[in-house]
A and B are shown apart, each in its own frame.
Chain A
Amino acid sequence: QKEVEQNSGPLSVPEGAIASLNCTYSDRGSQSFFWYRQYSGKSPELIMFIYSNGDKEDGRFTAQLNKASQYVSLLIRDSQPSDSATYLCAAEDGGAQKLVFGQGTRLTINP
């Protein structure tokens, strides 16, 4: 069973601070990893994807991938109340050509 694990939270971070979200995956064959943001009652929207070891930055967001440790993270700098949402980590099941999602981490940014 290929799995993606996340801490369900809730994770509370003060406004302006850095929010750190973590994810581990079981399938060493996974090559691509995704972070989606989901507001309550809405569908997920893509934040970033990463497929190379190291960091990838996009604005206030930085994704980090460590394939040796099977670990993916998302950092959100200068957190805003609008960042409050559930963040879903996903890994591509290369063999089946589909994404496996974690259970999501609920993030709350406190003004």
Chain B
Amino acid sequence: GAVVSQHPSRVICKSGTSVKIECRSLDFQATTMFWYRQFPKQSLMLMATSNEGSKATYEQGVEKDKFLINHASLTLSTLTVTSAHPEDSSFYICSARVPLGLAGESSGANVLTFGAGSRLTVL
């Protein structure tokens, strides 16, 4: 259980265009999802926390008008990179909290399960 599906896995686009990435929780409801970005040989950087039915919470330094997040349902969050530029090329990964019970033991730990990631290349 606790599978997060992310699409597309790879996308190549021209500079100035917009790209949408979808993240779905397949067998559980996710009121909160997290969007990360990872540059080569670097760690995960949290971009924003996506909250179902409300505005996303962005980390310091992340442009909310450039990285639009929509969490319209309990199973779907989308990240749209608007007017993409080559410096936006990166590996984008979404994640969701695994509900208690699906994490393998009862605890209060906020276990995250990750989508497969989307590699964006902006030409």
Binding site for B on A (CB under 8 A): 31-32, 34, 36, 41-46, 49, 51, 88, 92, 97-99, 101-104
Q: State how many angstroms separate the Cβ of B60 from the closest Cβ of chain A.
A: 10
* Pairwise interchain contact A88-B110, C-beta atoms closer than 8 A: no
Q: State how many angstroms separate the Cβ of B9 from the closest Cβ of chain A.
A: 10
* Pairwise interchain contact B43-A98, C-beta atoms closer than 8 A: no
Interface residue from A45, A92, A97, A104 paired with B43 (Cβ < 8 Å): A104
B54 near A: Cβ within 8 Å?
no
Query: CA of A24 to CA of B32 in the docked complex: distance in angstroms?
Result: 27
Nearest residue (CB) in B for A33 is B109
Collect the chain A residues with CB atoms within 8 Å of residue B111's CB: 34, 46, 49
Nearest residue (CB) in B for A50 is B109
Interface residues of B in 39-58 (CB under 8 A from A): 42-44, 46, 49
Interface residue from B32, B108, B110, B116 paired with A43 (Cβ < 8 Å): B116
* Pairwise interchain contact A98-B44, C-beta atoms closer than 8 A: no
Interface residue from A51, A98, A102 paired with B107 (Cβ < 8 Å): A51
Besides A49-B111, A101-B46, 16 more A-B contacts (Cβ < 8 Å) are A31-B108, A34-B109, A41-B119, A42-B117, A43-B114, A44-B44, A45-B114, A46-B111, A49-B103, A51-B108, A88-B44, A92-B110, A98-B110, A99-B110, A101-B43, A102-B43
